[in-house]
Amino acid sequence: MNRLFIPTLGPTDWRRLLANPSTQWKRYKSALEMAVCWESARDLPRGLPPEVAKAIDTEPQLSGAHLLIGLPEHKVSFVGGRHPSQNDLWALLRVKDKLVSMAVEAKAGEKLDDIVKDWLAKGVEKSRKPERLTALKQQLSINNADVSQIRYQLLHRAASALKEAERFGAPMAVMLIQSFNRAADEESWKDFMRFGEIMEVPVKEGSLVKSRRQTAVPLFIGWVTSQPADLGRLSSAV
């Protein structure tokens, strides 16, 4: 586990952290758009993109939260499987005297990974995927839920927010989807609504809503839509 981090100098510092920069680092793709969006917000009083701050403020317990640190491509380990969960961005927020762990998944037409049924089927003999799935379900307090049709990425992204909340002593956690192409992400929105049903939360676009599942700390789930960067924003973020 890495414990030492260097502040970014701009969006290009995010590129080297990607699993496949040659295909992921393109204009209108979520990786580049997210880097520009968050780097553009670095000088704002709260350090958050305005649409993210607006969504956070819909939840009274989180209203006014500001960014303390943000870690692009932050990895969170769970038992089972061969790889840690790699969050597009993990952020530690502060609201009044409380900390908040927030995991952000960016999309711009990319799907939310396989559904759990298909993800499990791709396992090799003696795969530890069932063990990983059990760990994620325990973290989310959905032990008895049927998640076979849920996108796997939603499970480990939400679980990452909760696990890092425990590690950093944060009494609240947030899982946020940030879309940079709302029309192309319509299927992901439907997947997100199905995940909301599993987590017993009526999800709303542009808002955070608290899950009724009895997780270790309260989990808030939300979706925001961001605009792709224009040329001016691209240049100002560098």
From first to last of its 238 residues, what are the pLDDT tens digits of the chain? 678 888 898 888 999 998 888 889 988 999 999 999 999 999 999 999 999 999 999 999 999 999 999 999 999 998 876 788 899 999 999 999 999 999 999 999 999 999 999 999 987 666 788 999 999 999 999 999 999 999 999 999 999 999 999 999 999 999 999 999 999 999 999 999 999 999 999 999 999 999 999 999 999 999 999 999 887 777 766 6
Query: Where along the chain do its domains lie?
Result: 24-237
Cα–Cα distance, 217 to 170 (Å, whole number): 8
Of 143, 76, 156, 77, which Cα lies nearest the Cα of 116?
A: 156
Angle at 196 between CA 159 and CA 104, to 5 degrees: 45
CB atoms < 10 A from the CB of 45, how many?
8
**26: part of which helix (H) or strand (E)?**
none
Residue 126 has a pLDDT of 67
Q: What is the pLDDT of residues 73-118, one digit of tens each?
A: 999 998 876 788 899 999 999 999 999 999 999 999 999 999 999 9
The pLDDT score that the predictor gives to residue 229 is 85
Count of alpha carbons within 13 Å of 47, Cβ hemisphere only? Answer: 11
Per DSSP, helices labelled H in 50-175 are: 50-56, 116-121, 129-140, 152-168
Token couple for 4: 């030492």
CA separation (Å) from 18 to 22, 26, 30, 33, 73? 9, 12, 12, 13, 7
Map residue 107 onto helix, strand or coil: strand
Give CA 7 to chain center in angstroms. 20
pLDDT of residue 230: 83
Q: Spell 120-156 as b/e; 16+ CB within 10 A means b.
A: beeeeeeeebeebbebbbebbbbeeeebeebbbbbbb
Tokens, residue 74 = 């932050």
Which residues does 211 contact at the CB level (< 8 Å), separation at least 6? 199, 200, 201, 218, 219, 220, 221
Looking at the chain, how many residues does it have?
Answer: 238
In sequence order, what are the residues at sequence separation of 6 or more whose Cβ sits closer than 8 angstroms to the Cβ of residue 126? none
